[in-house]
């Protein structure tokens, strides 16, 4: 994700000048929020995977046997509690 205008001057593959149109404090807030979103997303993904582990294991077993499932089969597998 990019925020604000950023100009870079490249010399021999290295940045020698960078100009931002926002403060360092704003950059820190952006970094903090981005980190928070990522952390919350990871936590939510883990929660969903752990909550539905039985369904994922069943789907994996079926896919190992058949290699593919159609939407109807998938929906039926996901209904299993």
The residue among 24 and 80 whose pLDDT is bigger is 24
Provide the pLDDT confidence category of residue 67 given band limits of 50, 70 and 90: very high
Q: State both tokens at 74.
A: 């998938």
Instruction: Judge whether 18 and 7 are in contact, CB under 8 Å.
Output: yes
**pLDDT digit string (tens) for 12-66?**
555 555 566 778 898 899 999 999 999 999 999 999 999 999 999 999 999 999 9
Between CA 10 and CA 18, with CA 12 as vertex, the angle to 5 degrees is 25
Instruction: Report whether pLDDT(11) > 60.
Output: no
Q: State both tokens at 36.
A: 């928070």
Instruction: Report whether pLDDT(7) > 70.
Output: no
pLDDT of residue 22: 77
């Amino acid at each position: 994700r990019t925020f604000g205008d950023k100009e870079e001057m490249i010399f021999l593959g290295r940045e020698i000048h960078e100009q931002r149109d926002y403060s360092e404090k704003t950059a820190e807030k952006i970094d903090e929020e981005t980190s928070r979103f990522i952390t919350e997303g990871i936590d939510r993904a883990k929660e969903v995977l752990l909550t539905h582990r039985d369904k994922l294991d069943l789907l994996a077993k079926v896919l190992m046997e058949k290699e593919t499932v159609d939407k109807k089969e998938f929906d039926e597998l996901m209904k299993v509690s």
